[in-house]
Amino acid sequence: MAKATPSHTHTVSGWAAHDSSGKITPYTFKRRENGVDDVTIRILYCGICHTDLHYVKNDWGITMYPVVPGHEIIGVITKVGSNVKGFKEGDRAGVGCLAATCLDCEYCRSDQENYCQQLQFTYNGIFWDGSVTYGGYSTMIVADHRYVVHVPENLRMEGAAPLLCAGITVFSPMKDHGLVESGGKRIGVVGLGGLGHVAVKFGKAFGHHVTVISRSAGKEWEAKNRLGADEFLVSSDQEQMEAGKRTLDFVLDTVSGEHSLLPILELLKVNGTLFIVGAPNEPLQLPAFPLIFGKRTVKGGIIGGIRETQEMLDLCGKHDITCDVELIRPHQINQALDRLASNNVRYRFVIDIASASSSPL
Q: Which stretch binds Zn ion (CB under 5 A): 45-53, 212-220, 328-336, 339-347?
A: 45-53
Choices 46-54, 210-218, 267-275, 282-290; region in contact with Zn ion by CB under 5 A: 46-54
DSSP state of 138: B
Q: Which is nearer to Zn ion, 165 or 229 (CB)?
A: 165
**Contacts of Zn ion in 161-180 (CB under 5 A):** 165
The answer for residues whose C-beta is within 8 angstroms of residue 17's C-beta and 6 or more apart is: 23, 24, 55, 56, 57, 63, 65, 66, 67, 69
DSSP states of 248-295 as a string?
EEEEEE---S---SHHHHTTEEEEEEEEE----SSPPP--SHHHHTTT
Residue burial 286-300, b: 16+ Cβ < 10 Å; e: rest: eeeebbeebebebee
Among 17, 24, 67, 116, the residue binding Zn ion under the rule CB under 5 A is 116
Cα–Cα distance measured from residue 21 to residue 341, given in angstroms and rounded to the nearest whole number:
13
- CB of 161 vs Zn ion, minimal distance in Å: 11
Nearer to Zn ion, 89 or 338 (CB): 338
Of 51 and 322, which CB lies nearer to Zn ion in the complex structure? 51
**Of residues 40 and 101, the one with the C-beta less far from Zn ion:** 101
Closest distance of CB 116 from Zn ion, Å: 3
Q: How near is the Cβ of 293 to Zn ion at its closest, in Å?
A: 35
CB of 195 to Zn ion, least distance (A): 9
Nearest to 138 by CA among 160, 123, 119, 153: 123
Look up residue 351 and give its amino acid: I
Nearer to Zn ion, 194 or 272 (CB): 194
Total interface residues for Zn ion by CB under 5 A: 8
Minimum CB–partner distance for residue 123 and Zn ion (Å): 10
**Selected range binding Zn ion among 21-29, 159-167, 255-263, 280-288, rule: CB under 5 A:** 159-167
Pick from 65, 66, 69: nearest CA to 52:
69
Instruction: Give the shortest CB-75-to-Zn ion separation in angstroms.
Output: 17
- Cα–Cα distance, 167 to 213 (Å, whole number): 19
Q: 67: how many CB neighbours lie within 10 A of its CB? A: 25
Q: How far is the CB of 262 from Zn ion (least distance, A)?
A: 28
Nearer to Zn ion, 113 or 231 (CB): 113
> In angstroms, what is the minimal distance from the CB of 133 to Zn ion?
14
Contact call for residues 151 and 92 (beta carbons, < 8 A): yes
Task: Indicate whether 337 belongs to the interface with Zn ion (CB under 5 A).
Answer: no
Question: Binding pattern to Zn ion, positions 74-113, x when CB under 5 A?
Answer: ---------------------------xx--x--x-----
By beta-carbon proximity to Zn ion, the closer residue of 87 and 115 is 115
Best CA proximity match to 98, nearest among 7, 165, 2? 165
CA dist 323 and 158 (Å) reads 8
CA distance 170 to 200: 10
The single residue among 16, 39, 41, 49 that binds Zn ion, judged by CB under 5 A, is 49
CB of 71 to Zn ion, least distance (A): 5
Cα separation of 168 and 108, whole Å? 17
Q: Using the 8-state DSSP alphabet, how is residue 119 labeled? A: -
Under the rule (CB under 5 A), what is the footprint of Zn ion?
49, 51, 101-102, 105, 108, 116, 165
